[in-house]
Amino acid sequence: MATQGSQFDFAPGFENTRLRIAWYAFISLLLAGGAYATYLRLTQGMASTNLTSIVPWGAWVAFYIYFVGLSAGAFLVSTLANVFEIGEMHRIDRDALFAAIISMAVALLFVWIDLGRMDRMYFPFIWRQLTSALSWEVHAYVAYIGILVTELYFSMRIDLARLANRLDGVRGKLYGLLALGRLDTGDPSQAFDQRWLKRVGIVGIPLAIFMVHGGTGVLFAVSKARPYWNSGLFPVIFIISALLSGTALVMVLYVLRTRLFDGESVDLDLLEQLAQLLMGFIIIDAALTAVEALIAFSSVHPHEVDTWLVVMFGEMSWSFWWFMIGFSWVFPMVMLTRRSWRRTPWVMVVAGLTAVIGIVAVRFNIVIPAQIIPVMEGLPHGSYFPTPVEWGTSIGIVGVGLLLYTVGAEVLPLTPFSEGDHE
């Protein structure tokens, strides 16, 4: 990309016009299906789902915690550059931050559509409950989104200012507006941005770990009525699997955007760093999950053991073996084992995508199985598979996320203009 010279051109979007059309057509399809499903959801109410009073939480909750995890993971990867100052990572910090913002928006859409009274979604900001993890979470999400937007602003401001100075007309004005009028591109202004990028990032790390995603884990872990969730290790696994999916997502986005949008070659050293990071998270995630299962089985607590048996051998055990074990751990791990594969972009895209999809199954296997075994002997067993309306709305909401990300990636300078921007 040309960053110098009088003939300034800034076109961060798709390199290939036909690919752009195909991609937007695909997103339109998702949105159209999602819109129809959402129409059914709104007119038929919660009766359009397969949820019951025995299994009151389903696909929407699973997707909600999935996207919160994706966001927290992506944000933490961005702090490798912005707080821990690992040089090569600067290339991907805006990608990571922007993906984290979009994931949060998607997560909140899932929370919203899941409410029995969608019209009352602002109530948690009017009435609170100090002992409720969910009440705290709602506020943590808002603070976290504020942190993410601030981070992206300080990370990108210098390039927005450069664009505002060099481009005329509406585009120049738009970038000036996004830079909030701070159009100085001198070294002191850049140093100011770097300082605040680091400070806000330092605040963001504990917020993301303990409040946003750890807190979402706590939301489940405090439920003593469900022994499967009721463990201290549970929120920790939440965070690790979030890091797993977040790293995988950032790796996929880095490769795809570099190749398809920037038309450049992938920095193989950076790719290998991300791949090693992913490998580490897969090992920790699998190990901690094994520990959790071991504790459950050793306890011989009937409810806990029964729930694990449902996970491993129940009706939906295919999602555990194929997607949780296979897609999020084994398949990517195999692809990550050889150094030459770790330096092959398309292999890493496949490995990243399988992990990103596999963690969806991890989230489903958190939410659903704990509701299958009844809380008391004599009450009915639960059974749940999402309805087409639940799938449709979920696909539509993911489509909204893809659209927002693509439009942003086509407009914003997500790739730093020059090496050493952050030095």
- Is the separation of the CB atoms in 4 and 404 below 8 Å? no
Sequence-ordered list of residues with C-beta below 8 angstroms from that of 21, at least 6 positions apart, any chain:
none
Residue of 132, 298, 337, 418 that binds another protein (CB under 8 A): 132
Q: Is 285 in the site for another protein (CB under 8 A)?
A: no
Using CB under 8 A as the binding criterion, the count of chain residues that bind another protein stands at 40
Q: Is 123 in the site for another protein (CB under 8 A)?
A: yes
Q: Is 51 in the site for another protein (CB under 8 A)?
A: yes
Q: Is 378 in the site for another protein (CB under 8 A)?
A: yes
- Is the separation of the CB atoms in 59 and 364 below 8 Å? yes
Residue with smaller CB distance to another protein, 25 or 47: 47
- Radius of gyration of the chain from its Cα atoms, rounded to whole angstroms: 22
Secondary structure of residue 344 in the 3-state scheme: coil
Nearest Cα residue to 201 out of 151, 249, 251: 151
CA distances from 89 to 38, 302, 317 (A): 39, 47, 38
Smallest distance from another protein to CB 234, Å: 14
**What does the alpha-carbon distance between residue 90 and residue 102 come to, in Å, rounded to a whole number?**
20
Determine the length of the chain: 423
Q: Is 381 in the site for another protein (CB under 8 A)?
A: no
Residue with smaller CB distance to another protein, 3 or 135: 135
Residue with smaller CB distance to another protein, 274 or 372: 372
Nearest Cα residue to 355 out of 64, 66, 58: 66
Binding mask 214-253 for another protein (x = CB under 8 A): -----x--xxxxx---------------------------
Residue 277 exposure: Cα atoms within 13 Å on the Cβ side: 27
Smallest distance from another protein to CB 67, Å: 17
Q: Is 302 in the site for another protein (CB under 8 A)?
A: no
Q: Is 159 in the site for another protein (CB under 8 A)?
A: no
Please give the residue ranges that form the binding site for another protein (CB under 8 A).
Answer: 45-47, 51-54, 56-57, 114-117, 120-121, 123-124, 126-129, 131-135, 138, 219, 222-226, 371, 374-379
